[in-house]
Structure 1
Amino acid sequence: MEKKFGPALNPPLGRRYDLDWLRVIAFIILIFYHVGMFFNYWGWHIKNNEQSNLIQVPMYFTGRWRMSLLFMISGAGVYFALGSRSPGSFLRERFVRIFIPLLFGMLVIVPPQIYLERLTQGETYSYAEFYRSVFEFQPYPKGSFSWHHLWYLVYIFFYSLAGLPLLLFIRRNIRMTSKWAVFFQKPLALILIPVAWHVGGSALLGHRFPTTNDLIHDWNQHFHYFTLFVSGFVLCTQPAFWEILKKQRRLLLIVWLVLLPVVYYYYFSEREVTGLENIFNDLVKSTMTWCILLSFFGYAYVYLQFTNRFLRYANEAVYPFYILHQTVIICLAYPLINLPLHFWLKFGYLCVGTFGVCLVLYEFVIRRVSILGLLFGLKPKKRRKVEDQGIPAISSES
């Protein structure tokens, strides 16, 4: 007999290793993705003298879901954070562990990226001469003030603040979320209703608000990412949601595997689609992305409920790695631009070099100097010795 999910208590605030694993994996993929941006034909800050269509194939696939996954994990992190903190304490820690690293990143970590980009555009000034322009506070690309890859921190910071009343309301209404769990155990509801929501949002906002990552004009992305942020929060309100994903994980996997060739057909055709075909294309892509996300959560819930030394280390290291990685990539890539080396040799060097430099800076500098730990979003040393309830700060738990 099929199990029916009735009213349930909030799950215990034990550590969710499956979410930890997904978070670490997602950020590892992000580093490879940004290395790939140096070599593909998409717009980026600096470019290799030889580009490749081949590298765009896996990048297009991961680009469909990698940031969506992180926003859902961020929402899950907020759920656990609010279980052990008052709203006021939660907001104070958002400021310390997200806003301070963001401001530090904009003034120290990001400027070298802009400087090296300017050199590729023909500028000849020194870094000291360039750096003065940062404090003119003119937004990039006209000026030199930007958050670049740190836009994710901007978004989860403001989602945490603006969405707090809604999240508190959801967390306090256990009976409401238990009814949602009963409803969404039906596969059609689990897939079609969220997909229809996202497709409808794209139809209304997609053409009017193209992606900018500038917070102010990015309303189409806000619609999708804030929805995913809240969805990740809602999943943690009831154990029944995770049992649903566990039960339906194979179906979800089959659905997105079937749709993947259709998505790649439209990508490789490189033709403009309009009207009903455009709606169909968006429907297929949204369904594939949603099923990927849910299947990842379902499989992780089954197979990744464990920890080890790597996960414990990576959970702390991933935030500084995220803040550092794109600047490290660009600094390592700039001298390679015109070198007559094989494409894959450069790619391998940048991957190994980026992880190596980030590891050395983290292990021997950041985690050993208290003020740098604060600026890179690490917990105080005393708190690092005790496992927190929930999942760590970069996913919005603090």
Structure 2
Amino acid sequence: MSAVIRRYDIDWVRVIAIGLLLVYHVAIGFQPWGMMIGFITTEKTWEALWIPMSMLNVWRIPLLFFVSGMGVYFAIQNRTWKQLLQERASRILLPFVFGAFCIVPLHLYLWQYHYHTSPAYLPNPGHLWFLGNIFVYVLVLSPLFFFLKNNPSNHLLIALKMSLSSPVGIVPVLVAFVAEALLVNPNPYTLYAMTWHGFFLGLLAFFFGFWFVWSGTFFWSMLLKWRWLFLSVATFLFALRLTYFQQVAPNYLLALESVFWIVSVLAFSYKYLNHPSKALTYLSQAAYPVYILHMAFLYLGSLLFFPMQIPAPGQFTLVLLFTASGCFLVYEFLIRRVNLLRPLFGLKRKELAPAFEKLKILKKV
């Protein structure tokens, strides 16, 4: 088996992206249109909050797909195709099915309660649509990924890796995302959940995430060298969208902005976050269960704090703290410690304690 180098920066990006997801979903409750996409909303709207959220919204979901593709690169280094599918079925498909039938109906019931609609049990992918997409991508792209893995000396593949040693190598990525935006023509661009746009954009991001890590130091050295350029372009495109287009920019510009934000995040994370820490060890394990649980606590927090006669920033802070605290408490004192629950939330079962293993052997004897 080949040794796999741990990329702590990629772990951090995944943790940060899920943290931003919590903030973003809480912010929707303060927008006047939040109810139309299934959120509980407050009467104390905070529309100015949407300015930073609109910057996040063009890249936060694509970034998670990029990181998921990167994870598959590391997963296949010491696995066969069959082992990869078995591992991804247990880590992705099982939590997806469990969540659709047991977690999502909880927050849908809270929504029904708040808006006085008839209560009904509604199994639904909900916010877990992301997991279903990833499992499909693994099925579709793993033959290609294993081909890339198993042909390290192929001259054409080496040339493809080397193409990412220059910023020009990013051009095919930009072209692919712009083409998807033009062909699918989503309205709005940021409507990812359970749409063909979300599916094809996620497929591209998943593939290029794998491709970036597979390209090795060619890509990462280039990112370090040109990180300020990528960040400057992303900032310029966001400023252009905010001022000239008044937030309603063409889809092709949103696709370009998204890619430049993503490569900027990857570059600065590689520069500053590629080192281990106890916080990362804990958070990287907690992130997946928190993602699965967060909507239930978000809706419950909305029910508790939105009726309070306090300013919108105060409500926002309370709902965010309640959502994060509730998720982490359930993770820490229930999911993390109960072996039966761990696989349902994407975690590996804990190995049996050595003493317990010895006891089983003695009984057999």
Both proteins in one fold, TM over 0.5: yes
Amino acid at match of 2:45: Q
8 Å contact kept, 1:72–1:229: yes
Q: Per-residue deviation at 1:159?
A: 0.8
Partner of 2:173: 194
Name the structure 1 match of 2:362: none
Secondary structure of 1:268's partner?
Answer: coil
Q: Which runs of 5+ in 1 are unaligned?
A: 1-10, 135-143, 271-277, 384-398
Aligned equivalents of 1:47, 1:164: Cα separation in 2: 41
Which amino acid in structure 2 is aligned with residue 165 of structure 1? Answer: P
> Is 2:326 the partner of 1:357?
yes
Show the counterpart of 2:131: 153
- Aligned residue in 1 for 2:202: 225
1:257 aligned partner: 235
Aligned length: 345
Output one character per residue of 1:53-96: Cα deviation in whole Å (capped at 9) or x when no partner.
11111110111111111111100000110111111111111111
* Offset, 1:208: 9.0
C-alpha contact 1:332 1:350 (8 A) present in aligned 2: yes
Q: Would you say the 8 A contact 2:234–2:261 is kept in 1?
A: yes
Work out the CA distance in 1 between the residues paired with 2:245 and 2:187: 22
5 Å-filtered alignment, 1:277-316, equals 281-316=250-285
Which residue number corresponds to residue 390 of structure 1? none
TM-score (norm 2): 0.88
Change (3 A) 1:238 1:267: same
Whole-Å separation in 1 of the counterparts to 2:187 and 2:333: 47
Answer 1 or 2: higher relative contact order, Cα 8 Å, separation at least 6: 1
Aligned partner letter, 2:254 = K
The Cα shift of 1:123 comes to 2.5
> How far apart, CA to CA, are the structure 2 residues paired with 1:160 and 1:178?
23
Separation in 2, partners of 1:243, 1:179? 16
CA contact (8 A) 1:82 1:90 kept: yes
2:40 pairs with 1:46 = yes
Q: How does 1:21-40 map to 2 (within 5 A)?
A: 21-40=12-31
Partners of 2:43 and 2:230 in 1: CA distance: 41
Which segment drifts farther, 297-306 or 27-36? 297-306
Counterpart residue type for residue 41 of structure 1 = P
1:64 corresponds to which residue? 58
User: Aligned pair in 2 of structure 1 residues 297, 12: CA closer, same or farther (>3 Å)?
Assistant: farther
Distance 2:337 2:238 in 1: 45
User: Could you tell me whether the CA contact under 8 Å between 2:241 and 2:247 is conserved in 1?
Assistant: no
Partner of 1:365, secondary structure, is: helix
Cross-structure match for 1:3: none
Q: Distance in 1 between matches of 2:192 and 2:253?
A: 24
The separation in 1 between residues aligned to 2:188 and 2:139, in whole angstroms, is 23
Q: Name the counterpart of 1:204.
A: 183
Corresponding residue SS for 1:368: coil
AA partner of residue 185 (structure 1): S
Change (3 A) 1:261 1:20: same
Give the TM-score normalised by structure 1: 0.81
Q: Give the match's secondary structure for 2:275.
A: coil
Partner secondary structure for residue 78 of structure 2: coil
Distance 1:236 1:349, change over 3 A: same
1:75 is the counterpart of 2:53: no
Match among 337, 347, 350 for residue 378 of structure 1: 347
Q: 1:207/1:32 Cα in 2 relative to 1: closer, same or farther (>3 Å)?
A: closer
Match of 2:105 in 1: 111
Distance 1:209 1:220 in 2: 10
Deviation at 1:149, TM superposition (A): 0.8
Letter in 1 for 2:213: C
- CA pair 151-186 structure 1, distance change in 2 beyond 3 A: same
User: 1:178: how far off?
Assistant: 2.3
Identity %: 31
Q: 2:144 aligns with which of 166, 176, 182?
A: 166
- Over residues 2-39 of structure 1, what are the superposed CA-to-partner deviations in whole Å (9 max), with x where a residue is unaligned? xxxxxxxxx95110001011111111111111111111
Q: Distance in 2 between matches of 1:212 and 1:298?
A: 25
Q: 1:269 Cα deviation (Å)? A: 5.9
- For 2:19 and 2:300, the matched residues in 1 are separated by 19
What residue in structure 1 maps to residue 363 of structure 2? none
| SS at 1:163 equivalent | helix
Q: Please state if 1:244 is matched with 2:222.
A: yes
Alignment partners' CA distance in 2, 1:269 and 1:146: 31
Deviations 1:114-155 (A, max 9, x none): 112222332265xxxx3xxx3xxxxxxxxx221111111111
Q: Which amino acid aligns with 1:158?
A: V
Partner of 2:356: none
Judge conservation of contact 1:328–1:354 (CA < 8 Å) in 2: yes
User: Separation in 1 of the partners of 2:348 and 2:207?
Assistant: 25
Cα distance per residue 1:212-260 (max 9 Å; x no partner): 633xxx3222222111101010111132111121222121112112222
More deviation in 366-375 or 286-295? 286-295
Unmatched segments (≥5 aa) in structure 2: 353-365
> What's the Cα RMSD here?
2.2
